[in-house]
Structure 1
Amino acid sequence: MSDGSPAPKRSRVRRSVQSSVKLEDVARLAKVSTATASRVINSPEAVSAKTRLRVEKAIAELGWIPHGAAQALASLRTRTVGALIPTLGHQTIATMLESLQQTLGNAGYTLLLGRPDASRERTTVQLSKMIQNGVECMVLMGEDHPPELYALLEQRKIFYVIAYTTGAYGHTNCIGIDNHDEMRKMVSYLLGLGHRSFGIIAANHDHNDRIRLRIDAIRDTLAAEGIAVRPQHFKVVPNWTIACGRQGMQAILEEDVRPTAIICTNDYLATGAVIEAKAAGLSVPGDLSISGFDDNELASHMDPPLTTVHVPAAEMGRTIAEHVIFVLDGGEAELPLRLEAQLVIRNSTAAPPAGP
């Protein structure tokens, strides 16, 4: 029942209004044609530095913001690249991604991120949504993705690049390192030190071809010398973290016979293995040699510093971005040769201890 007082006014949420400043206004202030102003926005390399500065000054003075949807419709370009990245917590992957984003950004491209799901079907759905958002190219981590994902890319004619590998499973559009060959170098080095008894700590690799290739390299290289890893010395842990490295090392140390060298499929696992071995009273590398892969920042600061494989992550991100930009801007470029990793020998490995 009303008491006669006026009803309170309802507040309205105001929608943002597109600026009334138009590209023509920018061109007029910069004393150039509208077409020239447009080129400064869409193809700055085609305009002289002097003209570009005048247009940029006019844009700043007027506060003009280009309408993204209108630009895309006008040019049939969104200048958006998508990437399916499994994690941002792994330093090497994050470094690659930062370099990728920076190089794309410098060329006027936007990077849209997605994360592969444990459900491969949901991963494909996520890709579909990224395509609906206008990505012109996709960057994938490794080759191990569902056939439906590749089929969708081919059906929609979306250009894609596969990072961190060189195409061991049949794809030719890969930019990265040869995971098998780089791990082979590590195993050959340990064999050269005199090791004949090995353990492996690996993260779950059901959908990770890079890790599978590293494991295959360990087995293949040892088999060539007539050596096999005992099943009880091959530990697959749930994840790639330091805690999982400790878990894998603890399981190996519980066995009656201890290997003299532990090969880990990344530096985080190797770090955990070193910590757990030392907690058990063992000397690294006096009693046990431990190696990693990736060469993250922690590797060189460990006690002892880790022997590992240095992955050129920043170079990888930059190379992928440069290739993507060239192709999307109308070029036809052959993919570069594989990127070279580097065996980095530090103090976590040495000759095996002498027998009794």
Structure 2
Amino acid sequence: MVTIKDVAKRANVSTATVSRILNNQPGYTEKTRLRVQQVIEELSYKPNAVARSMKSRNTQTIGVLFPDVSSMLSSEILHGIESVAHENNSSVIVCHTAADGMRTNKYLKLLHEKRVDGVIFVSETLSDEYYETIKSMEVPLVLVSTVSYKHQVPYVKVDDRHAAYTAVNHLIENGHKNIGMISGNEQDMIAGRPRVEGYKEALFHNGLPFEEKNITYQDGFSFVDGKEGAVQLLEQIPEVTAIFAASDDIAIGAMSALHKMGKKVPDDISIIGYDDLPIAEMMIPPLTTIAQPFSKMGANASEMIFQMLEDDSRTIQSRVLRHDLMERETVKKI
């Protein structure tokens, strides 16, 4: 195996000079640089990335933690992260935490050992334990589709409360007054509670009453949660004419349940989702929904990491990106 000493000996220079050339540091002539580069090519020398990173503290890798790597949401965010990382000659290590504390801590330890240059934490609550572990790594941290009120960490997300308000207000503008909601976990401070608050606020601002029976809370935001939630909601309020689903997966699950109950969307019940996953447009009928710019969110987070790596004293502002209403065919005007 060819080593840096072999290159230095053949080029008749010190190993320190070879190291400076490999790391684009000053201290040599152009003639020396060309001679060393020629020897590197002749010997087919491949620099040891780990050894170089121990000196430069730069492994050109970013760690990304997802609670669910199989979701379309995650793939869109990852696409944005990777595109910017690629532009900055860096790679991405993806960790599937399954929203499990022990598994998350295991991956954080791995990322520490791998000496990643930065960490992007997606769609989960940043616990004190996670925060302290990442802080000890002394690398930039950015949150995506989540926020920490306790720890001052820059984030990229949409305003969930405002976006939910937009969804419910659209139903009201189309004449609906008996509007139910299928929510995610009631205790979820990131995507659960803010969307419920947006739902309630839209009703209040339009002079419509709110009753607890108008909402059904589920364990999460999945297709199954949507199926079960639709059945529960119609048992609680049979007169419902429209449903606000707290995610597209919930909306699609609800549409499946309504179909089995003999209810047509939107003729019998209108429905609006939240996320604008690629499958939303493929549904029959295509799903009206609130669009989150997931790829753009990932790209913004990646950009923020590299900005902090470039200047660690720089203050990075959090970014709240715009949501959009995607009008398709699941909301009927009455």
**With structure 1 as the length reference, what TM-score do the two structures score?**
0.78
Aligned counterparts of 2:299 and 2:160: Cα–Cα separation in 1: 19
Aligned length in residues: 322
| C-alpha displacement of 1:326 | 2.0
Comparing 211-220 and 297-306, the one that deviates more:
211-220
The 3-state SS of whatever aligns with 1:304 is coil
The alpha carbon displacement at 1:239 in A equals 3.4
Equivalent in the alignment of 1:38: 22
More displaced stretch, 302-311 vs 217-226:
217-226
CA distance in 1, matches of 2:209, 2:131: 36
Q: Is 1:130 the equivalent of 2:111? A: yes
Instruction: Quote how far apart the aligned CAs of 1:60 are.
Output: 7.2
The equivalent of 1:299 in structure 2 is: 280
Once the two structures are overlaid, the 10-residue window that deviates more, 199-208 or 300-309, is: 199-208
Worse overlay, 72-81 or 293-302: 72-81
Deviations 1:241-283 (A, max 9, x none): 2232122112222346331111111111111111221222222
What letter is aligned with 1:219?
K
Question: Structure 1 residue aligned with 2:304, among 320, 323, 347?
Answer: 323
Asked whether 1:70 is paired with 2:55, we answer no
- Give the C-alpha shift of residue 225 in structure 1: 3.3
SS of the residue aligned with 2:320?
Answer: coil
Cα shift at 1:138: 1.7
1:345 maps onto 2:327 in alignment = yes
Task: Tell me by how many angstroms 1:122 deviates.
Answer: 5.3
Q: How does 1:155-170 map to 2 (within 5 A)?
A: 155-165=136-146
| Alpha-carbon shift at residue 230 of structure 1 (Å) | 3.5
Q: Could you tell me how far apart the structure 1 residues matched to 2:225 and 2:124 are? A: 25
Does the Cα contact within 8 Å between 2:157 and 2:297 map onto a contact in 1?
A: yes
Query: CA distance change for structure 1 residues 219 and 318 in 2, over 3 Å: closer, same or farther?
Result: same
Question: For residues 144 and 205 of structure 1, what CA distance do their matches in structure 2 show?
Answer: 14
Which string of whole-angstrom CA distances, capped at 9 and with x for unpartnered residues, describes residues 305-338 of structure 1? 1110111111111111112112113363633642
Q: What is the letter of the counterpart of residue 158 of structure 2? A: I
CA distance in 2, matches of 1:153, 1:90: 25
**8 Å Cα contact 1:261-1:289 kept in structure 2:** yes
2:244–2:273 Cα contact (<8 Å) kept: yes
Q: Which one-letter code corresponds to 1:99 in the other structure?
A: G
Out of 189, 197, 202, the position equivalent to 1:221 is 202
Change beyond 3 A, Cα 1:91–1:205: farther
- Is 1:97 the counterpart of 2:72 in the alignment? no
**Equivalent position of 1:86 in the other structure:** 67
Report the Cα distance in structure 1 between the residues aligned to 2:49 and 2:211, rounded to whole angstroms: 59
Q: Could you tell me which of 227, 231, 239 is aligned with 1:258?
A: 239
How big is the shift at 1:232? 3.3
Residue 28 of structure 2 corresponds to which residue in structure 1? none
- 1:189 CA displacement: 1.4
Pick one of 254, 261, 272 that aligns with 1:280.
Answer: 261
CA–CA distance in structure 2, aligned partners of residues 192 and 268 of structure 1: 24
Aligned to 1:313: 294
**DSSP 3-state at the match of 2:244:** strand
Counterpart of 2:30 in structure 1 is none
Q: Following TM superposition, by how much is the alpha carbon of 1:28 offset from its aligned partner in structure 2, in angstroms?
A: 7.8
TM-score by length of structure 2 reads 0.82
When structure 1 is superposed on structure 2, of 266-275 and 60-69 the one drifting more is 60-69
Match of residue 189 from structure 1? 170
Range moving further from structure 2, 96-105 or 138-147: 138-147
Is the Cα–Cα contact under 8 Å of residues 262 and 291 in structure 1 kept in the other structure? yes
